[in-house]
Structures are given as structure tokens and as C-alpha cells.
Amino acid sequence: MTLLLLLLTSSHQATAKQYTQPFQNETTSLAGKAVSANMYFVKMGYWRVKKATLNLNFQVSQLNDRQDSDMTVTVNGVTFDSFRPSKTKGLQTKQIKIPTQLLKSQNNLQIAGQLLNQKTPTTQTPANWLTIVNTSNVNFDYEIEKPTDQINDFYGHMTGADTITANQSAVETPLRATDAELTASLRALTGLTRFVTAEDRELPLRPLENGRQTDFRLLVANFDHLPSDLRRQLPQQRLVDHAVIQVMNLNRRPVLVVTSKSNQLLEKAAQFVANEELMRETAQTTKWISLQTATFASVLQFQGRQPLLEKDDRVQGAGHHVKTFFVQLPNDHLNAAGSTINLRLRYAKNLDFKQSLATIKVNGQAIGSQRLSSERANDDTVRVKLPADLPLNSTFTVQADFDLVLPGETNQVLPDQSAWASVLADSYATIRSKPNRDLLFDNYPSVFMKGQAVHHLALVRPDRLTENDFATMSNLFGLIGNYAKQNTGEFKIYHGQPSTAELAQANVLVFGTPAQTPLIKQLNNRLYFQYNSAFTGFKSNEKLSLEEQYAQRVGTAQLLRSPFNAHHGLLVVTGAHEDAVYRASTQLNRQVKLAQYRQTDTIVVDDNNQHFSYRFKKQKLLKDDAFNVTFHKQGHFWVYMGLSLLAVAFFGFVVISILWRHGLLKRKGNWHEH
């Protein structure tokens, strides 16, 4: 009996897990007597949470009165903890237990603070500030519910943040995979890698035969290339005109199998896997896919209107208050003229309306202010236009600053709580955006995308794949998957020497060594860093001198205009050896790495992981976009030029008509005849 209890205890402890989830927010500083900031985190559906702890790293102004200043923590609209900052200077850390009953799948955590200066408690001053550091996080202690053999349950575990962080998810396909199998595998991978949020984690594509043990595997292969144990469990005849997605057992471990005898149906099944909604809805063990099965994702295309909050958010008390909200742009778009922030408000009628106002800031930059009004107190809108040249990342902050002043407030010792204002749930940002078509690494991989999907992409791979090549494809398509919100993108895999006609129809991504990828030899004269005549290493150029042996050990990533079609892009990831190719690809697998290479089109990485970047091209836009931008920038000039030419032509016609009527042109002609 004692032994049984020990075994049960050991088993119970083995399933106990711990996961720390950082917030996606950057370090944020807020100033004012009353400030608040919103942060977001998720809880996996298969977790049995035992304890959740907020680790809040923050700093407050040393001038604040620690006896009167306080901070309040709210989760999903329910306030559960308040505390006063300690008297220590510098960075502070506060651990706060979050009641587990408040947790949902998607969670909003709000930190609100009342920051008072002991000398002038009612005077607004920038010296009252709160900084929330981006190392803040939520730590979970939990147990995992064992996955069933249902597709959606397996999928939920496989795409869980903790599973990916623990390197327990992978997509597998045969080492000698065909182009069709690789196309299907990478299609599925791009749908799964959108769940990879940690900058130091990946969901890899790897060869089936490598023998690594992973808890959750997605196996994509033609039926004839499956392990014999799996083939025996499947109805071979039906797979001629169907594909199947099924949770099966291989070597006593569950595996999600995607297979068919048809290449077309294999890719269609992979497109189903890349659709998060369909996978979460599929509760059966086996899903059969035909050519008629609907697999496309629902429309997520950016419509320009972004809500700022889900429900009304209130500030209380006279003084300065700050509310922050987050807005997302598609990764392949830029802010354009006509973007607005529309803040819907309701506020108290007892304010001093000569002094009370609302100010809107974007990424800390003040955009506009508006005085509050007694006539509009029950229904007001503050609408400000964003400057067209204001740079916006894919995620940016909108900050609403309220200065609520009561008549005679300066005579009060403490702020009057009868002053209040609410930001209403129908507040929104209207972002007029334009596609970003710069052919620089600032804009990779967006330059290969359209409508949040991969756009006409041709991947040219080595003739014979190695494990390094699989890792390179994981790097390249891992980042593409982070950006792709649709599963409808068009891409094909090629090897050998694809026809010029095929490459002219697409953006081209080619990787490998010159020996294994013949297209790289063909492109050598077009490259910024070119190979020597023996293709054993790179040659020196005007940007970098390369010693002969060193030149054999570096890898490069080069972003060029496609020589097959000037309207498309070409990315070449290459080196004399396959490990150099892989090293170059490691700089393209995370947005945080690409951020190092602003305004560049070439990356060089050596075997000591030293990396350098350069810009060769002078015109960064693709050909058609360069013309369009030039035309739009000089549109008025061309209009005036056209009108001037019309005027000259008109007056010329009038002059010629007069001369002709008076016979001057005729006499001139007769004089020449004599």
C-alpha cells in the first residue's frame, strides 16, 4: 500500500509543470497622479492551474510619497490586490498571487497607480511617474490534462506555448521528401508557427528518420513514404481520392498523421491543418479530406478599423490620468495619410471646463488635445489625425491623458473623487495603411506577402536534402509563418533548374550551396557577394575584403530584384558549405534579429557567428512601386505639365489657323517653289 502511494505521488509530481509567460509589452513609462497600463496573457485550455503569480518589475519616482501613493491590480475587470511601493530607490519587484478563478483563456491585466507628491499632492507634475519594465511576467504552476486521441485536443497540446517552449512540438516529413511533400509540410508549418511567441524558441521541420523523441509530432508524407506500421493501419484504396488527418500511434507514441496518395490532396490536407479554426473544431479522431472540402481561413484581412478596448474604462478623481491601449497593424503595411484615433468619452459635469482636457499620444508623441465640454459630457468624441509620416510598428500604443480639474481644486488638500471620465468601448483607431514594398530586410518577409498571406513564392531547394537544410527551411518559414494570418498563400517548391517562365511568375527564395543548388551558379553574376570561378568561396568586393580561407566559411543572405521579373523579389541564402548556409538563415528566423539590419539588403555571417550587413541597391522599391511612388509624389507637377502642353497645342493651332486663312503659309510655300 505504501509503495502504491509512493508511485501515485511520483506520477503526480511528474505531471506538475511550471511556465513563465512574459508580457509582449515594451518597457512603458507613465506620468501623472493617476496612471494605468494594460497587459495581456493567455492560459492554455489543457492546464489545471494550481497557482498563478504576477511578477511585476517596476520603478516609481523617488519624489512620490510612498505613504499616500498606491498601486492596484485588476484581472479581467476584477480588482484583487492593492499595495504601496516600498521606500527603496530604483527597480522594485512585487510578487502577487492571482486568484485562479479569475483566469480565462485570454486575460487582460491592468496595473493602475495613484502617484502623489508629498509636497504638492494636487499639482500635476512630470515628476510623478511609473515605469513598468518589460521583464514583468506571469508564472503558472499547473498540471497537464493528458491529451485524448481527438484531433483538436492533440492540436491544442501541440500548439501550446509551454509545449513549444519545451521543444516538444515538431513537423516531420521524409528525409528524401518530394517537392510536393515539402510544399505540404511547409504549408502546415506556416500555420503552426504563428503560435511561436518566444524569441528564442522555434517549431522545427525535421526529417522523419532522425530518431528524436518529441511528445507532439505532425507527420506529413505521401502514403507510400509512411513507416510500414502506419501504412498497415490505413485504408490504402480510399487514399487514392482522399487525404486523411488522423491521430495514430507510432512506436507507442501519439502522432498526428497527414497523408494521401495524391499530391494535390496532400497539400489540401496541409491547408486544413494550417487553419486554426478548423483544427480546433475537429473533435473526431479521423478527418477525411476531399477536393470539395472547404479549407480556406475566414477573412482576417485588415479592414483598417481597430477597437481600442473591449469594455468601458473609467478614471476617478481630479488630476492627471493616463490610459494606454494597443493597436496592431498587419506586418506588411505602413501608416498612410488619413489615419485617425477616435476616442469616445463620457465624463462628469462638475468639471472646470476651461481647464479640463483630453490629450491623445501615439508611442508617447502628443498628436492632439481637446477641451472637455459640459454640453458633450454624456457623449463626446475626441478625433485626431495621425501625421502621414508618423512611423508605426506592427504594434503601437495609443495613450489617452486626462486632465480633470474641479472649480477651486487648488485650495483642496487631496483630489476630489467626484471628478471622473470614462473611455467608452466603441472607441477605435482607423488606420489608413499602404503596403510596404521596400526591398530591404526592414521589410522581410512582408515583401513576399500580400493580404497577410504568402504571395506567389517559389522556393528552390538543394537537390539532396540534409538535416542542415531542414533546419534552414525551419528558419526561413518559421518567420514567414509568424507573419501569415491566412492559409491561402501560393507557394511551390522546386529543385534542380526550374524554368525561367516558372520563376518569372513568382518571388523567388533560393538556398543552398552552388554544388547542391544549380540555380545559385546561374545567379552568381547577379549577386552582391559573388563566388570565385571555382565556387569554393566568395570574392572580395567594394564592401568587404575576404581572405581566401575565411571566404569559404561565411554564409550570406542577399535580397535582390528578381532577374526573372523586375516586379518581384529574390532572396538568396548561400555559402560554400551547408553549415554556412544554415548560419546565414539563423539571422532570418526572428523579427528581433532582423531589427539589427535596418536599411540593408545583404547579411554576412562567419563561423564565429560574427555578422555584418550592407546595402548595395540605391533604389529600394520594386520597379512598379518605384514608378507609382514617383508619380504620386510629383502628381501635381505632371498635372500642370499636361495642362501647359494642352495650352501650347491650342495656341499653336490658333496661330497656324490664322496664318493659313491669310495665305501666309501658302505664299511661303510658293516662294520656296520659285
pLDDT digits (tens, 9 = 90+) for 307-337: 888 888 888 888 888 888 877 665 545 565 6
> Quick one: 191 and 275 in the same domain?
yes
Cα→Cα distances 269→1, 184, 237, 287, 542, Å: 50, 8, 17, 9, 49
Do residues 234 and 321 both lie within one domain? no
**CB neighbour list of residue 508: distance below 8 Å, 6 or more residues apart:** 457, 458, 460, 562, 564, 568, 569, 570, 571
**In this structure, is residue 506 part of a structural domain?**
yes
Q: Does residue 2 lie within any of the structural domains? A: no
Are both 282 and 312 inside the same structural domain?
no
Query: Does residue 300 carry a pLDDT above 60?
Result: no
* In a shared domain, residues 45 and 20: yes
Pick from 436, 469, 394: nearest CA to 569: 436
Within this chain, do residues 326 and 424 fall inside the same structural domain, yes or no? yes
Query: H or E segment at 623?
Result: helix 623-633
497 and 518 in a common domain = yes
Q: Is residue 299 part of a domain?
A: no
- How far is residue 571's CA from residue 582's CA, in Å, rounded to a whole number? 14
Between CA 660 and CA 148 the distance in angstroms is 95
Whether residue 206 is found in the same domain as residue 319: no
| Position 537 in a domain | yes
Does residue 296 form part of some domain? Answer: no
Q: How many domains does the chain have?
A: 5
* Whether 473 and 355 share a structural domain: no
Q: Is the peptide bond before 445 cis (omega within 30 degrees of 0)?
A: yes
Report the DSSP beta bridge partners of residue 139: 20, 53
CATH code at position 203: 3.30.379.10
Q: Is residue 263 part of a domain?
A: yes
Mean pLDDT of 226-233: 94
Are 399 and 449 in a shared domain?
Answer: no
As a whole number, the mean pLDDT across the chain is 84
Kindly report the pTM of this predicted structure. Answer: 0.79
Q: Residue 456, class by beta-carbon neighbours within 10 Å (0-12 exposed, 13-18 middle, 19+ buried)?
A: middle
Please name the amino acid found at residue 470. F
Same structural domain for residues 237 and 155? yes
Q: Which amino acid is at 233?
A: Q
Residue numbers of the domain that contains 638: 634-673
Q: Which residues contact 299 (CB under 8 A, 6 or more apart)?
A: none
Same domain, yes or no: 186 and 261: yes
The C-alpha atoms of residue 256 and residue 249 are separated, in whole angstroms, by 9
What DSSP string describes 344-384? EEEE-SSS-TTT-EEEEEETTEEEEEEE--STTTTSEEEEE
The pLDDT tens digits for 245-284 are: 999 998 888 999 999 999 999 999 999 999 999 999 999 9
* ∠ Cα 143 148 150 (to 5°): 135
- Summarised one tens digit per residue, pLDDT across range 146-193 is 899 999 999 999 999 899 989 999 999 999 999 999 999 999 999 998
d(CA 518, CA 182): 19
> Are 360 and 400 within 8 A, CB to CB?
yes
Mean pLDDT, residues 502-510 taken together: 96
| Pairwise CA distance, residues 311 & 323, whole Å | 13
Residue 485 lies in a domain: yes
